[in-house]
A and B are shown apart, each in its own frame.
Chain A
Amino acid sequence: MDLLRFATAGSVDDGKSTLIGRLLLDSKSIFEDQLEAVEATSHSRGYDYTDLALLTDGLRSEREQGITIDVAYRYFATPSRKFIIADTPGHIQYTRNMVTGASTADLGLVLVDARQGLTEQSRRHAVLLSLLRVPHLVLAINKMDLVDWDQDIYEKIHDEFTNFATKLSIPDLAVIPISALKGDNVVTRSENTPWYHGPTLMHHLEHVHVASDRDLVDTRFPVQYVVRPKSDEYHDYRGYAGQVAGGVLKKGDEVVVLPSGMTSTIEGIDLFDREVDEAFPPMSVTVRLSDDVDVSRGDMIARVKNAPKPSQDIDAMICWMTNEPLRPRQKLAIKHTTRMGRAMVKEIQYRLDVNTLHRDQETKELGLNEIGRVQLRTTVPLLCDPYSKNRTTGSFILIDEATGVTVGAGMINSGS
C-alpha cells in the first residue's frame, strides 16, 4: 500500500469541510463516538442537519467562531491507499497556511462553488499550488446539485480554468463535477452527470500516479548526524546518517563530499541492522565511506560528476509569514536541508500579485502573506538545486533570530 498526501483549498462557503467530512464518512474513517459528539453538538446548537464541519474544526476558538484558523492534518485509508489531508483554511492568512499545507503535498484539491464559478480565490490557490510545485491538481466543481447538473456550467468553468492553468506550471489537472453534500461523484458515480465520463474524486485520488514525482537521477544526501558508537563491538564504525533527498545511492559509487570537495567511495549503506545495496528517496539510511574523510552535519554527499554548486548568493521566491515586513538589509537565520546559517536580504526584486500574476517592481518590502522574488547573501554556502528540480534541496526556511519564529518559506530559483 502506498501513501498520497494532498492539500485542500477553497473559500469559506464552498463546502470544503463538508467534502472532507464526506470523504472521511464514506471511507468509514469516522468512529461512532466522534459522529455522536458532532450530532449532539449540532442538535444543541439547533441545526436541523448534522454539521460535518464540526468534525474538522478541532479547537475551542474555531468552534466558537465557526471558522478554521489553522492547518489540520487528517487521515483516512481505502483498501488501496492511505491518505494524509492537509486541511488548509480558506480564510484570512490563506497564503501562509496554503504554503504550509502544500509544501508536503503530492496533490492539491481546489474546490469551487458551481454557482459562483472561478473566483479570485480559486485562481490564487492554483497559483500557490503551482508555485509550490504540487505535481497534481484537482479542480472539484461543487454544489452541482444547485445548478441542476448543468453540463454547460461545468464546461464553462472547466475551460476557463484550463485556459488559466496554461500560464502556470501544472503538469496534471483533473476537473470533477461533484456534490459534497449529497455525495455525487465523491465516492460513488452520480446518475445526475451522464455527460461526465471521468473518474469519481475518490477513484482519482486512489489512482493518481505519484511515485514518479521524485528525482531519481541527481544523487543528493544531506548528512544529518554522524553515528559513532564508541563501543568495543563497533570500535571503528563511522556512519553518516540522513534521508536521501534525490537520486539513488549505490554501494561502490564514487562520491564527493560538499562543501569540502573530498572524494571517496560508498563502502556500505546500513538500514538499521542490515546492509542494503541501494538507497533512494525518501529512505533514512546510514552511509559508510571507504576513506577517512572529514564529514559532518550540514555536509552533502553527491555524485562526483553531478553535484550541486555551493553558493552564498541565492535567488529565491519567498513567502513572508509574519506581521513585521521583510526589508532589504534584514538579517535572518536560515535552515536549508541540515545546514544552518545566517542570511541577509540584498534585494527585493518584485512582489508577485498572486491574483493577477503581476510583478510589482516598485515594492520596497514584503508584508504578511506576500510572495516575492528576493536575493539573499548567506554566511555559509548552501548546497542547493532549483526548487523546480528538487523540493528538498531547493527549499529553505527563514527564522527570526530574536523570537525564534519561522517567518519565511523560500523556494530557490538559482544559486550563483
Chain B
Amino acid sequence: MSAPPTHVDYQLSQLDQLEAESIHIFREVAAEFEKPVLMFSGGKDSIVMLRLAEKAFFPAKIPFPLLQIDTGLDFPEVLETRDNWVNRLGVRIVVASIDEAIKKGVVVDDGKTSRNRMQTATLLDAIEENGFNALFGGGRRDEEKARAKERVYSHRDDFGQWDPKMQRPELWSLYNGRIHGGEHMRIFPLSNWTELDVWHYLGQEEVELPSIYFAHERRVFQRDGMWMSENPLNPCKPGEEVVEKVVRYRTVGDLTLTGAVESDADTIPKIIDEIAIARVTERGATRGDDRFSEAAMEDRKKEGYF
C-alpha cells in the first residue's frame, strides 16, 4: 500500500476556495433552473461574475444571457468594457432601459426619484417579460449589514419582494431552488467574497476593467462630500465649482450619484494597497443612494432592488 496522501500537498488558497465555491453555485443554477440570467452592470463585481461563469462552463459558452439595466446615466467607459466582454464571450445581452420603462408607463419620473431607485420597477418588468426565474447578482455580504443576512439563494415572491424573516435555511452547499410560477430566485455566488478578495482576483486574472477604476485626471466638483464627475447629465448647482483632480472610482453606478475618490492608484496592486488601509466602506465613500436612512439598503431590497 502506498502512503496516504498528506494534507500539506492538497491545500487550496482562500481565493481558490472562493472560486471553487462560486463555480459550484453557477453550475447548480444552470443545471436546475430553466431561465437563468446574469445581471451585468460592467462594474468590478459583474466582471468577476462573468469570469467565474466563463470558467464554470468552459470550453462551452456561458449557457444563459446577461441582463443590464440601462439607467441612461452610465459612464461611457463602463459601457465600452461591457461591449468588449460581450463580444469576446459571444453571449447574448438583454438591455432593459429605464427610458423605455418610463415611455411604457412602468415607472414614473417625478423628478425627485433617483434613477437608481427606478431600476427596481424596470428590472421587475424585464424579469416578467423574459420569464427569467434565476438572477445572478454580484452582491457580497460584506457590503452592508442587511446583506450580511442574505442567503446565496435568495427567494423572491411574485412581486420581487425579499422577506428576511421568511428566508430558507441554507445548509452545507445543498441549495434549494424550488420556486412557484411567477417567483424567482436571486443568486449571489460572491456572497463570501470581500471587496479585497474581488481586487485580488481581478489582479490574478488580468481581465479587462473599466478604465475609471484606475487613477486618472478628471473634471470634478464637490457635492455632499463626494467628487462628482462633470457631465451634461449631471449639471453643477450654484456654488459648485469644477476643478481638475486625479481621481478613481471605487464603485461604478449611476454617474449622478456615484462619487470618485482622490487617488493615485493606477494599477491593481496599488488599488489593493489603498483598499487594505481604507477606513471607509466603498458604499459609504461613494454611493449617495445608501445614505437615505439606516435601513436604506434593506428597504430597497424588500421592494425588489438587487
Contacts and interface: CB of A to CB of B under 8 A. Distances in A.
B276 to A, nearest CB: 10
A175 B20 CA distance: 33
Contacts of A231: 59-61
B294 A335 contact: no
Contact of B281 (A34, A211, A338): A34
A59 interface: yes
B172 A104 contact: yes
Contacts of A56: 145, 148
Contacts of B55: 272
Contacts of B147: 58
A227 B284 CA distance: 42
B8 A211 contact: yes
Interface stretch (A183-191, A276-284, A370-378): A276-284
A297 interface: yes
A129 to B, nearest CB: 15
Interface stretch (B191-199, B212-220, B263-271): B191-199
Interface string B108-129: 0000000000000000000000
B30 A225 contact: yes
A31 B281 contact: yes
B180 A60 contact: no
A82 to B, nearest CB: 5
A69 B144 CA distance: 17
Contacts of A118: none
Contact of B298 (A58, A99, A103, A217): A58
Nearest to A322: B169
B4 A216 contact: yes
B141 to A, nearest CB: 5
Contacts, number: 195
Contact of A58 (B56, B149, B197, B299): B149
Contacts of B173: 104, 243, 392
Interface residues of A, number: 78
B10 interface: yes
7 closest cross-chain pairs (CB), A and B: A404-B178, A33-B284, A58-B145, A3-B14, A229-B60, A284-B23, A284-B20
Interface of A: 1-3, 31-34, 37, 41, 55-61, 63, 69-75, 77, 81-82, 84, 96-97, 99-100, 103-104, 211-212, 214, 216-217, 224-225, 227-231, 233-234, 237, 241-243, 248, 270, 272-273, 280-284, 286, 297, 321, 333, 335-336, 338, 391-392, 395-397, 399, 404-406, 409
Interface of B: 4-5, 7-8, 10-21, 23-24, 27-28, 30-31, 54-61, 141-142, 144-149, 164-165, 167-174, 176, 178-180, 191-192, 194, 196-197, 278-281, 284-285, 294-295, 298-299
17 contacts: A31-B284, A33-B284, A70-B149, A73-B192, A74-B142, A74-B148, A104-B172, A211-B7, A216-B10, A217-B5, A224-B31, A229-B61, A272-B54, A282-B12, A283-B20, A392-B172, A406-B168
Given A60-B295, A405-B176, 13 more contacts: A31-B280, A56-B148, A58-B145, A59-B164, A75-B142, A82-B197, A229-B59, A231-B60, A234-B59, A241-B57, A333-B178, A392-B172, A397-B172
